[in-house]
Amino acid sequence: MPTLVIMRHGESEANRDNIFTGWSDVSLTEKGINQAHTAGKIIAKSKIQFDDVHTSFLKRAIITTNIVLDEINQNFIPEHKSWRLNERHYGGLRGKNKLKVKEQVGAKQLKIWRRSFTVVPPLLTKRDEDSRYDRYGVKIPLGESLQMAQERLIPYWVDHIAPRLLDGKNQLIVAHGSTLRALIKFLENISDEDIPNVEVPNGKPIRYDFDQHLNIIDKNYME
């Protein structure tokens, strides 16, 4: 039976400062680095041998990935990076403090922008340019709903992760809160109404065991 472990990166500087980030490339805090080491030690106790690891183009996830691979002594496995695993793009909210946004628009509107599946945040007026995406012909979004993030994520799951699981190969994903919520919604068939209540904490690995058809047999938070 194939196993999938997913985890959100350790605490980033933006998490610490309570700032919207999205595709902005921020580093881990010391706490975040420690969270990654702890997660790696927890995963190591399971003795799962992974065949691949998948992460985003953002260094907070990449650094977390490398720390975890060190801790589980599996640095040799193929490491696949994709922009499709990037955090949801928060558009015009990027760089803003969440508490200050709450003061400006109210708690209800802030929650809708943060947690709704379909609502798009205020969009940027100008598209960013970045060579890491230009080389793949990817246009950086002006902003995304969680649904839009899911729509770019699922093709990667279908093409690169699910086939490996179907071949009995264990997979590790180290990504971001919103994109992992989008994946969990897909895997567990969670409704649009219930997905706002799903949380993915920093540095807490989640294990899924599947049958040969990728039906979930078991899910647990690894501790």
* Structure token pair of residue 101: 């946004």
Residue 123 confidence (pLDDT): 97
Residue 141 confidence (pLDDT): 97
Residue 187 confidence (pLDDT): 98
Q: Is 114 annotated as a binding residue?
A: yes
Residue 113 confidence (pLDDT): 95
* Structure token pair of residue 104: 């400006």
Q: Is 90 annotated as a binding residue?
A: yes
Q: Is 89 annotated as a binding residue?
A: yes
Each residue's pLDDT expressed in tens, for the chain with a length of 223 residues? 899 999 999 999 999 999 999 999 999 999 999 999 999 999 999 999 999 999 999 999 999 999 999 999 999 999 999 999 999 999 999 999 999 999 999 999 999 999 999 999 999 999 999 999 999 999 999 999 999 999 999 999 999 999 999 999 999 999 999 999 999 999 999 999 999 999 999 999 999 999 999 999 999 999 9
* Structure token pair of residue 177: 């809160």
Residue 2 confidence (pLDDT): 97
Residue 27 confidence (pLDDT): 97
| Closest residue by Cα to residue 206 from 179, 174, 182, 162 | 174
Three-state secondary structure readout of the chain: CCEEEEEECCCEHHHHHCECCCCCCCCECHHHHHHHHHHHHHHHHHCCCCCEEEECCCHHHHHHHHHHHHHHCCCCCCEEECHHHCCCCCHHHCCCEHHHHHHHHCHHHHHHHHHCCCCCCCCCCCCCCCHHHHCCCCCCCCCCCHHHHHHHHHHHHHHHHHHHHHCCCCEEEEECHHHHHHHHHHHHCCCCCCHHHCCCCECCCEEEEECCCCCEEEEEECC
Find all residues with CB under 8 Å of 46, minimum gap 6, and list them: 207, 222
Residue 68 confidence (pLDDT): 98
Residue 146 confidence (pLDDT): 98
Q: Among residues 30, 71, 79, 87, which one is catalytic? A: 87
Residue 97 confidence (pLDDT): 97
Q: Among residues 9, 54, 144, 176, which one is catalytic? A: 9
* Structure token pair of residue 93: 């909210």
Classify 3-17+27-87+145-221 by CATH class: alpha beta
Q: Is 129 annotated as a binding residue?
A: no
Question: Is the distance from CB of 87 to CB of 23 less than 8 angstroms?
Answer: yes
Q: Is 98 annotated as a binding residue?
A: yes
Q: Is 22 annotated as a binding residue?
A: yes
Q: Say how far apart CA 50 and CA 9 lie, in whole Å.
A: 18
Q: Is 220 annotated as a binding residue?
A: no
Question: Is the distance from CB of 219 to CB of 183 less than 8 angstroms?
Answer: no
103 is an active site residue: no
Domain boundaries, the chain: 3-17+27-87+145-221
9 is an active site residue: yes
Q: How many CA atoms lie within 13 A of 156 on its CB side?
A: 22
